[in-house]
Amino acid sequence: MRATVALMLFASAIILAPFTAAAEAPAEKEDTCSACHQALGDKLAAPVEAMKSDIHAEKGLSCVDCHGGDASAMDETAMAPEKGFRGVPKYAEVPAFCGRCHADGAYMRRFNPSLPTDQLSQYWTSVHGQRLQQGDEKVAMCVSCHGAHGILPADRAQSPVFAANVPATCGHCHSDPEHMAGYGLPTDQESKYRRSVHAQLLLVQRDLSAPACNDCHGNHGAFPPGVTSIAQICGQCHVANATFFVQSPHKAAFDQRQLPECATCHDNHDIQRASDVMLGGETDAVCRRCHQPGSKGYAAAVAMRGGIEQLKAVMASTESMLQRAGSMGMEVSDEQYAYNESVRPELVKLRTETHLANVAAVEKVVQEAIEAATKSKTAAEATLADAESRRRNLMIPLALIGILMVLLYVKLRQLEGGGKHESK
């Protein structure tokens, strides 16, 4: 009897457990915003669907955190002003609307301490922000780049502000002639950028360290680089080149003539991979744009290009010698390592040094590199000479072995001939 009663109580507990747990669990927080908008469908339901993948929703935020109101009310009081309902902000109000949270360091620390909280103040310094304050509502603001609902962090590939997507995001406005009408700006920046070496690295090779629009112009504080500040912008990545340029006589000359610094030789959006052809007195050299034949600058450009070609010739000869020695089975790994470490970097250094526009400095690098290359070449020549000496020395015993084999063959023939004669 006791066993039967215990079994019945145990079974009852199992059956009633889900209902008991449901009764004890706290009721799920009501969200009439989502329920109503989902039921209304079409455009009103779109934000609800978009928010399913939104970073704000992932962090636990909902409609009322941005728009205010009461998500638990089942009638029109849900959007009552006294409930703090803000609704959809006007276009010019959006930066401050987003900035209520994103400019609050204490609040943002709860979600992402690494996210900067100066975006709003930077935006007001940008051309976009200044024009918006002047009443121009065609300019970009927060939702133009990030979206309104379904916002993703910048490190996700689907985000419009992911590094590889930035050119298309900026180009949405800046490549549209109708939208950009009246601003006096070209609309071919995106198409030019896509032909550049930067785009090749970023969009084709997926090197996310390569620059997009915002790396040069800024993102929230977007502002066109000034004529005299381009070297500083480019110098964020090309540190040595920018440092040498600022120290060169070109700096003062460019400032005097109001020439954009790096862009005068390398262009701005349509930047191609630099080559030695750009330097010197050839027809395609950029130096010829300013320095005519017979001028001091022309002579300096030709001298610097000559130094580069001289070093390249020595390097080619050294590489050929190392390859020959290696193909003969000689151990040249130490010589090859020394060459790679002491000579190859010098060619890169030499090309960078040309931004000083100082022939003496270039010639110094050339001589140092040639000396290092000559050491590698001499070592390779010695190894090659040793290999050839060994080969010559090997010929003597091989010749003796050959002679012995011939004599042995003759002797065998004689023995075979004598044996046949005796058998007869």
CB 63 within 8 A of CB 33: yes
Q: Total structural domains in the chain? A: 2
What token pair was written down for 226? 């000034």
Residue 154 resides in a domain: no
**CB of 208 within 8 A of CB of 202?**
yes
What residue type is assigned to position 149 of the chain?
Answer: H
Show the CA angle centred on residue 253, arms to residues 217 and 285, nearest 5°.
80
More reliable by pLDDT, 107 or 224: 107
- DSSP, collapsed to helix, strand or coil, labels residue 272 as coil
Name the token pair of 325: 């020695």
Establish if 19 belongs to a structural domain.
no
Q: Which two tokens stand for residue 242?
A: 């920018």
Q: Is the entire prediction scored with pTM above 0.85?
A: no
Residues 269 and 337 in one domain: no
Same domain, 308 and 363: yes
Q: Do 354 and 385 lie in a common domain? A: yes
Q: In this structure, is residue 346 part of a structural domain?
A: yes
pLDDT tens, 278-316?
999 998 899 999 999 999 999 999 999 999 999 999 999
How far is Cα 87 from Cα 270, in angstroms, rounded to an integer?
44
Checking if the pLDDT of 44 tops 70, the result is yes
> 261 and 304 share a domain?
no
Average pLDDT rounded to a whole number, residues 256-273:
91
Residue at 404 is within a domain: no
Contact 270, 281 (CB under 8 A): no
> Which pLDDT belongs to residue 19?
45
* Rounded distance between C-alpha atoms, residue 297 and residue 353, angstroms: 16
Taking the C-alpha atoms of residue 337 and residue 38, their distance in angstroms, rounded to an integer, is 67
The pLDDT score that the predictor gives to residue 389 is: 65
Question: What pLDDT score was predicted for residue 356?
Answer: 94
In angstroms, rounded to a whole number, what is the distance separating the alpha carbons of residues 29 and 51? 17
Q: What are phi and psi of 154, to 5 degrees?
A: -65, -15
15 band by pLDDT with thresholds 50, 70 and 90: very low
**Element containing residue 372 per DSSP (H, E):** helix 359-423
How many other CB atoms are there within 10 angstroms of residue 349's CB atom? 13
**Closest C-alpha to 168, from 140, 145, 141:** 145
Question: Do residues 327 and 382 share a domain?
Answer: yes
Q: Which residues contact 276 (CB under 8 A, 6 or more apart)?
A: 305, 308, 309, 312, 351
- Looking at the structure, tell me whether residues 238 and 305 fall in a common domain: no
Mean pLDDT of 201-226: 91
Chain segment 312-346, per-residue pLDDT in tens = 999 999 898 888 888 877 778 888 888 888 888 99
Burial 247-268 (b: 16+ CB within 10 A, else e): ebebbeebeeeebbbbbbbbeb
Residue 413 pLDDT class (50, 70, 90 cuts) = confident
Structural domain boundaries, residue 319: 296-393
pLDDT at 109: 93
- 127 is a domain residue: no
Residue 422 lies in a domain: no
My answer on whether 309 and 385 are in the same domain is yes
135: helix, strand or coil: coil
Average the pLDDT over 120-149 and give the result.
95
Q: What percent of the chain has pLDDT over 70?
A: 88
Does residue 23 carry a pLDDT above 50?
Answer: no
Contact 179, 192 (CB under 8 A): no
Same domain assignment for residues 269 and 301: no
Residue type (1 letter), 315: M
How would you classify residue 295: left for phi > 0, otherwise alpha for psi between -120 and 50, otherwise beta? beta
pLDDT over 90 percentage in the chain: 58
Query: 327 and 387: one domain?
Result: yes
Q: Is the pLDDT of residue 250 over 60?
A: yes
Give the model's pLDDT for residue 21: 43
367 and 309 in a single domain? The answer is: yes
* Helices 344-353, 239-247: crossing angle, 10 deg rounding: 40
Q: Are residues 306 and 388 in the same domain?
A: yes
Mean pLDDT of the chain: 86
Q: For the packed helices 344-353 and 296-327, what is the interaxial angle rounded to 10 degrees?
A: 170
Calculate the alpha carbon distances from 286 to 268, 274, 277, 283 in Å. 15, 11, 8, 8
Specify if 403 maps to a domain: no
Phi and psi at residue 363, to the nearest 5°: -65, -35
- CA separation for the pair 307, 366 (Å, rounded): 6
**What is the predicted pLDDT for the residue at 29?**
56
Q: Are residues 245 and 302 in the same domain?
A: no
26 compared with 112, residue with greater pLDDT: 112
Residue 366 is assigned to a structural domain of this protein? yes
Average pLDDT over residues 353-370: 93
CA 322 to chain centroid: 35
How many whole angstroms separate alpha carbon 373 and alpha carbon 311? 9
